[in-house]
Amino acid sequence: MEYRIENDALGKIRVPAGAYYGSETERAKNNFRISGMHMQEEFISAYAMLKKAVAITNLKLGKLDSKIGNAIVKASDEVIKGKLQEQFVVDVFQAGAGTSVNMNLNEVIANRALEILGRKKGDYSIIHPNDHVNMSQSTNDTFHCAIHISADIAIKNELLPSLSHLSKELKKKANEFSKIVKIGRTHLQDAVPITLGDEFSGYYGLIDEMIDNINFGFKSMQKIPIGGTAVGTGINTPKGYAKNAAKEISDISGIRFYPEKNIFSGMQNQKEELLMSGMLRSTAISLNKISNDIRLLGSGPRAGIREIILPPVQPGSSIMPGKINPSMAEMLNMVCFQSLGNCTAIDEAANAGQLELNVFMPIIAFNLLFTIRILSNGINSFTQKCVSGITPNKEKMAENLERNLSLATALSPYIGYAKAAEMANKAYKENRTIKEVCIDEGILDKKSLDRILKPENLV
């Protein structure tokens, strides 16, 4: 391999001649051979949006030469579009704050900008990663901003649409099942009747609340500590920089971002990320509950509840012919478990901030975006390949309903709780229905019992 020699604060280092990254990225690549995982493409793209916005701002404020600034803007555009992605090689587990990732961006954009101007890579006397690409910035404020930008873009384009689609499909099922009466269950034991539509309405109602929560978190992340630079004082930024940079970021991303009112609070804490972690955690728990219910209601086909029939998507066993499993619900369960683990990592990292900075931003960023991605994709697959194809097993629900001992609840106003309990116990011991026992015991006449115990009147 051919190399070029670059210099930084630690001295000379060899960098692959064809690489767009430079010395600091090369050192980070060699130092942090940990997981083989890099920051997601959407994070790199969001960071490049910020680099472009800042270059435009510095041009407008007269800090940056137009030739250099325009080249930086063009190079940033390429990164935003996903080009040069293979050049972003820093491991997720790295030195704190994300300095290596920021410098990876600065070096790649600087070297690509040099090419645009007809210069060779590494000719930093013309365009320097720190002096020009990182002008008016620090990792400490820009990495934080890139988290907010990338997360909000992913939430807007991926997570919220997937949740809305799931809610819509669950509402369709709730309407479709609105007249189907079935046995209710509490404590996994028989309870008074409910419609299958009512049961499904609880699912879409829960998802709608999660959408509201995610929207609240989305709005909180529209605040960015742009212009705080190293510790929040804004050292090395020109007057009007933060407001102008936030406007440019908004124009480029299509989402409105605005400077944090208390920039020291914004720099010192991961409060918005912590809030979003909580929203994602509650969403994962909610989805997990729905998945568990779907698996229970579809269990069988002979010895389970089997009140709904799930669309078959693949064979379920390598040894038992014909076995079909609730594969999509199981997949979503696992997505939820992973999401909960990711959120725990975010929470612990947010909990470890010190003084003017939380140095653990890289794993907060990675886990936040990872969670948004797997939840979005998991929800989409679950909706398309499971929820949309659910059908009711009306015969099974009618059979369960006929033998429901909790129908005795409807008798309490007429014969009292104690007598109703006696009838329920007798029916259970004799393996008969409530109605049959009540008629034999002369509790009420058949006509009255038909009216009182009619399931449709009890929902």
Contact 117, 92 (CB under 8 A): no
* Tokens 């729905």, located at residue: 290
Cα Rg, the chain, nearest whole Å: 30
Given 35, 38, 167, 317, the catalytic residue: 317
How far apart are alpha carbons 90 and 104 in whole angstroms?
Answer: 8
Q: How many helices (H) and strands (E) does the chain have?
A: 17, 8
Contact 263, 246 (CB under 8 A): no
Packing angle of the helix pair 361-385, 160-176 (nearest 10 deg)? 30
Contact 58, 134 (CB under 8 A): no
User: 201 an active-site residue?
Assistant: no
* Tokens 């990292």, located at residue: 349
Positive/negative CA dihedral, 19, 76, 46, 54: positive
How far apart are alpha carbons 231 and 247 in whole angstroms?
Answer: 22
Instruction: Report how far apart, in Å, the C-alpha atoms of 103 and of each of 22, 89, 264 are.
Output: 8, 11, 23
Of 121, 60, 52, nearest to 80 by C-alpha is 52
How far apart are alpha carbons 190 and 184 in whole angstroms?
Answer: 6
User: 187 an active-site residue?
Assistant: yes
Q: What angle do CA 339, 343, 348 make, to 5 degrees?
A: 150
3-state secondary structure of 293: helix
Given 66, 125, 187, 318, the catalytic residue: 187
How far apart are alpha carbons 345 and 343 in whole angstroms?
Answer: 5
The DSSP line for 358-423 is -TTHHHHHHHHHHHHHHHHHHHHHHHHHTGGG-EE-HHHHHHHHHT-GGGGGGGHHHH-HHHHHHH
- Please identify every residue annotated as catalytic: 187, 317
